[in-house]
Amino acid sequence: MHPADHIRGQKDDVLEGKTIVLGVTGSIAAVETVKLARELTRLGARVIPVMTHAAARIIHPDALWFACGTPAITELTGAVEHVALCGDVPDHADLLLIAPCTANTIGKIAYGVDDTPVTTMATTALGTGIPVVLVPAMHGSMYENPMVAENLDKLSAAGIIFTGPKIEEGKAKMASQDDIVLESLRALGPRKLEYTRVLVIAGPTREPVDSMRTLTNRSTGRTGRELAREAYRMGADVMLWLGGDARAPNIPSERFGTAESLKKLVEYDGGGWDIILVPAAIADYSPVREDGKIPSGHGSLSLELRRVDKLLPLLRKKTRFLVGFKAETHVGRDELILRARKRMEEAGADMMIANCLEDVSLEETSVLLVRKDSVIPYEGRKGKVARAIMAEVGALAKG
C-alpha cells in the first residue's frame, strides 16, 4: 500500500469514490500541486497526475507520485491513457482539474490542439462530457492579452469552469487551494440546490465601546462558512454576509461589523431568497458609545447597555425558508429543544439549529435540527455537519 492511501479520506469523505485527473502545466505555480493533490486525497479522492514536459522541468514527476500514490503520466502510450481516464468508458474519471493552467494550454484547449498529455486529456474529457475545471496562472500582461481573454470566453461558453486567478504583484496567480477544492466539489455535484438562492449570515458582531474598544464574542464564523460552501457545492446561488476577520470562501460576500450595520443590510436587501440561514453570533446588547477613547488606568468602569433588536423577524419577510440558530450552555437536551422551539415560534422560523456551547470545538460540533414535530441530531466535523444540515434544509425548502 502506498503511503498516500493512509491519508485518503482522513479529513473528510466528501470525495470518496471519486477519481480526479490532475493536469499540471508549465507555470511556476506547479510547485503548489503537491499540497493540492494531498488535500484532494485527504478528502477521499483518487488523484491521478498528468504532466506536460514544461511542468516536469519545474516539479519532478516523483513528487506527484509521492503525493497521489499513482505514477505521474508524462507521455501517452499504447495504454491510451487519455481514453482510459477521460474517454467514453464505464470507469472514466469524474473530473479533469488542470492546475495550474498556462495561457499556452488555454489556447491549445480552445482550438483542440493535442500536443501534450494534458491537452489531450482535455480534448477527450470535453468530448465525453466529463467536468473540466481550469485554474489559470500566468503573468498579468499575458492574462490581459485580448486573445487570451477571447480563449477564456470561448472555453467558458463550452462549459469549462474557471477558478481564479488572484491578481497580485502584476501576476495572475493560481487560486488558493481552498478555492480550487471548492470549485472542484461544485463541479462534481450533486447540484440539488441548483437555481436556489441561499443567504448565509455568519460570524460575530463587534459593538463599539469607544473609538478604540469593542464588545464582541468568540464566534469564528466557521459553521456559517461551511454552510455557505456546502450550499455552493450543491449548486446554489449563494451570498455570504460575514462578520469578524475570517477569510470568506470564493463566493459572493458582504462584510458587517455591528448589529446595526447588519440590520441595515437586512433592510436594504431586496429579498427573494429561497433559504436564509443565520448562524451569526449577533449581539443582544450594545454599549451606549462614548466619544473618543475612554482613558485607561482610572479604576473601575461601568457601561450602559441597550437592547439590540432581533433580526430573525425581519429576515422572515425576505425568504421562503428561514433557519435560525440557538446556542445555550449547561442545559439538558429537553430544555434545549424547548428553548429552540420557543425561539422558532417567536421568529416565525421554519427550523432551528440548536446546540450547547460545551459541545463545540474549533473543528467539531454537535447539533439538533429542531422543527415543530421532529428533532434530528448530527455530530462530527463542522464540514460534515454542514453537509447534513444543507441536505435536510434543501429537501424541506424545495419539497
Cβ(5)–Cβ(70) under 8 Å? no
Q: Tell me the pLDDT tens digit for each residue of 206-218.
A: 999 888 888 898 8
Q: Which helix or strand (DSSP H or E) is residue 370 part of?
A: strand 364-370
Q: Tell me the pLDDT tens digit for each residue of 358-375.
A: 888 878 889 999 999 999
CA 343 to chain centroid: 29
pLDDT (average), residues 10-39: 96
**Per-residue burial over 49-81, b = 16 or more CB atoms within 10 Å of its CB, e = otherwise:** bbbbebbbebbebebbbbbbbbebbbebeeeeb
CB atoms near residue 218 (< 10 Å):
8
Q: Give the lowest-confidence range in 4-13, 21-30, 176-185.
A: 4-13
pLDDT of residue 298: 67
Q: Tell me the pLDDT tens digit for each residue of 311-328.
A: 999 999 999 999 999 999
Cβ(228)–Cβ(193) under 8 Å? no
- Whose CA is closest to 155, among 105, 118, 87? 105
Cβ(316)–Cβ(349) under 8 Å? yes
Average pLDDT of the residues of the chain: 93
Sorted by where each begins, the domain ranges of the chain are 4-188, 197-283+302-398
Fold of domain 4-188: Rossmann fold (3.40.50)
* Confidence class for position 350, pLDDT limits 50, 70, 90: very high
d(CA 372, CA 277): 17
Burial of 248 (0-12, 13-18, 19+ CB in 10 A): middle
Please say if the pLDDT value at position 297 is more than 80: no
The pTM of this model reads 0.91
* Confidence class for position 299, pLDDT limits 50, 70, 90: confident
CB atoms near residue 10 (< 10 Å):
12
DSSP string covering 177-216: HHHHHHHHHHHH---TTTT-EEEEEESB--EESSSS-EE-
**Amino acid of residue 224:** G
**Per-residue burial over 118-132, b = 16 or more CB atoms within 10 Å of its CB, e = otherwise:** bbbbbbbbbebebbb
pLDDT (average), residues 109-132: 97
pLDDT (average), residues 160-172: 94
Into which CATH architecture does domain 197-283+302-398 fall? 3-Layer(aba) Sandwich (3.40)
